[in-house]
Chains A and B, each alone.
Chain A
Amino acid sequence: EVQLVQSGAEVKKPGESLKISCKGSGYSFSTYWIGWVRQMPGKGLEWMGIIYPGDSDTRYSPSFQGQVTISADKSVSTAYLQWSTLKASDTAMYYCARPKQWREVNDAFDMWGQGTMVTVSS
């Protein structure tokens, strides 16, 4: 079965660091881009950025550039989203998602992870 499985919910304090993961299975992980999408509580979807695990080519939304780091390890078919210094405003659900076509960055997301809820509170 083709799927994306994300790491579990996290509760952190402001100032802490965090790395969440998204593991792909059932397909050639290194040949599909993986994107990250934020959804703050009760709000809409925000595109954060996207990475090609084959060569780690990464693109960020200007809104998230410098705030997070997107990476991938193709040897374990896993993409990551990390923060060095969390803020309360990072509290949100984070989804990873894969475009329909291999190697194609200009494509809709037809596969989504189940989401990772990140709560940042003192």
Chain B
Amino acid sequence: DIQMTQSPSTLSASVGDRVTITCRASQSIRSWLAWYQQKPGKAPKLLIYKASSLESGVPSRFSGSGSGTEFTLTISSLQPDDFATYYCQQYNSDPRTFGQGTKVEIK
């Protein structure tokens, strides 16, 4: 299985901050990486696919980059609605593993 490791596990930030979350794969996944946002009691929501493509309807303050084994999700200016948990997922090969999640908290 490909292991996905996110860092940090928890991030405390303020509204307006620039936030970066990192996801590392244990082997190359090319650009087959997605980022999801999950709020308590809700299903995950797709933000980014193919490492850097913004899902329709997702605000442009979200961006993704990377390829191979190292990827980042950046929120350019954190908004109140962005406090949530974020997961990366590789879909290069089965099983399509998720990272352990990064919780973005209010500072």
- Known contacts A45-B101, A110-B55; decide if A100 and B49 are in contact (CB<8 Å): yes
B7 at the interface (CB under 8 A from A): no
A68 to B40, CA, bound (A): 26
- Asked if B43 and A114 make an inter-chain contact with CB atoms under 8 angstroms apart, the answer reads yes
Binding site of B, secondary structure by majority: helix, strand, loop or mixed?
loop
Contact flags (1/0) for B49-66 with A, using CB distance below 8 Å?
Answer: 110000100000000000
Q: Which of A49, A108, A112, A114 contacts B34 (CB 8 A)?
A: A108
- Report 27 cross-chain contacts, Cβ distance below 8 Å, ordered by A residue: A37-B44, A44-B98, A44-B99, A45-B36, A45-B38, A45-B44, A45-B98, A45-B101, A47-B95, A47-B96, A49-B95, A61-B1, A63-B95, A95-B43, A97-B44, A100-B49, A106-B92, A107-B91, A108-B34, A108-B49, A108-B50, A108-B89, A108-B91, A109-B34, A109-B46, A112-B45, A113-B43
On B, residues with C-beta under 8 Å from A are: 1, 32, 34, 36, 38, 43-46, 49-50, 55, 87, 89, 91-92, 94-101
- New contact pairs (5) apart from A45-B36, A114-B43, CB-CB < 8 Å: A44-B100, A106-B32, A108-B50, A112-B44, A113-B43
Closest 6 CB pairs of A and B: A61-B95, A108-B34, A112-B43, A108-B49, A45-B98, A44-B101
